[in-house]
Structure 1
């Protein structure tokens, strides 16, 4: 039986880029990188349910830039169509130690994950999985964690080849979420864009050092690093906390209007204020 536990450390660099430019960068990267085997043409859905304290402790730790911070989430890959208690999800602790991002997660049936995180019950596990399961349960009980926000987006992923093994670049678009209806299996829940729909988040993830040709590409295209968190963006977009320096203001990233080829349809320009269906791609 394959292990349900996974853990990895890496450095992450984030950029906020227009969707059209992201497509150009993706095509350029594809000359030196491979398509992730789990990333079909057009990408795949990623949905995360974040847990926090009633006082939003994890949110404020991010805002205050603590050297050590963590958060708990349940993550589902793909659409919500047909999600049942048997559907596989990942219970994940993501933490930051100085500049290193660490992720530890276990794959569980959705019903089991909910018993662990929502009902705060010990679930069946192997001896090897015990430390992580115990840590999740201790976090949920000690901090009184509760479902707080769902984020979702469409992701395309590339992976490094040859000397760049360990390099991963992702492009996340249609970044949206909700602050209620936290069950993944709810049919057609309403989500709202939390980042303007004409913008995407590009993340460069490396185990150690960023390849020189990646930094050269970023400089050549005038990409600027951003400190952005999809969870923080959701918290602030839904008015659960004041907007911080991390918040993406639409006024700072207006839709392109200079040429007909980059003009978005009128309906899409206002889409961030309109409800969209969870499974919509």
Structure 2
């Protein structure tokens, strides 16, 4: 397991200290019709030692609002990631390609309550230069598996069909399969007033596994980020506020280049069991 750290050199300060400008190469504008949701934003990550979490949390609460779903210590986030047997999406991230993407099925909440009708999100998350674009549609878990595992087109009853066709083309064209699952407890904060587009999250006890890759299945997980660390992620539409830049500097937090999916793959020696075993569900 390793993290790629960005040292706070002078040429990197504009990433957090000035307005973030979207590149002309950032791709076409994303539409968000009906059940299809799209996000276009910048993301910056830090690793936070446990001993400063309380102070950091108190300062965030002073400046930001607690997310509606983040009461009582936060909520669970569970994601099943799809990739090729040769881990194409993993290596695109490691090699720092200017355009790269990931496909996942994500559930918010307790894992033990997931059944066929539980709402989940099918998401394509992609990076274009420094801009993160995320598109997703909410489906019952049964339909999400039909699309991503069985490679069958589904009727979503709305205008998100184009996105579902894109997912199906990606799964079938690259022969994608479930490769890894990640899970963690998330505390989320949202900006207020002029900072309404700002979102800050603290993710604790980040775990992963490389088998039994179905939501709702109880299985053994492994820490993919040391439990003494939390992941602080700043997500902004245009700029990161100066007070937040100062906050991370005061706590001596350095920007890290990391992906929870990549951490999960690396936790299993870049040879997850799922990559060499055809899932039973996809055998037809």
- Is this a same-fold pair by TM over 0.5? yes
Q: Which segments of 5 or more consecutive residues in structure 1 lack a partner in the other structure? A: 243-281
**Is residue 2:178 matched to residue 1:147?**
yes
Find the counterpart in structure 2 of residue 218 from structure 1: 248
Unaligned stretches of 5+ in structure 2? Answer: 1-32, 273-284
Q: Is the 8 A contact 1:51 1:72 kept in 2?
A: yes
State how 1:106-121 maps to structure 2 within 5 Å.
Answer: 106-121=137-152
Q: Tell me how far apart the structure 1 counterparts of residues 72 and 50 of structure 2 sit (CA, whole Å).
A: 16
- 2:158 & 2:108 partners in 1: Cα distance? 27
Matched, 1:232 2:255: no
CA contact (8 A) 1:177 1:191 kept: yes
Q: CA deviation at 1:218?
A: 1.2
Give matches, 1:196-215, under 5 Å: 196-215=226-245
Aligned alpha-carbon RMSD (Å):
1.4
Residue pairs, 1:155-194, within 5 angstroms? 155-186=186-217, 188-194=218-224
Structure 1 moving runs of 4+ over 3 Å: none
Tell me the residue number matched to 2:113.
82
- Contact map agreement 2:197 2:237 (CA 8 A) in 1: yes
Please tell me whether the aligned partners of residues 22 and 202 of structure 1 are also in contact (alpha carbons under 8 angstroms).
Answer: no
Whole-angstrom distance in 2 between the partners of 1:78 and 1:20: 26
- 1:27 counterpart residue number: 58
Tell me, in whole angstroms, the C-alpha distance in 1 between the residues paired with 2:191 and 2:258.
Answer: 24
The structural deviation recorded for 1:83 is 1.2
* Count of residue pairs the alignment pairs up: 240
The Cα offsets for residues 156-215 of structure 1, whole Å up to 9 and x where unpaired, read as 0000101111011000010001000011121x3111111111111000110011111111
CA displacement 1:127-170 (0-9 Å, x = unmatched): 51111000000000000000000000000000010111101100
Deviations 1:89-139 (Å, cap 9, x if unpaired)? 000000000000010000000000000000000001235111100000000
Partner of 2:124: 93
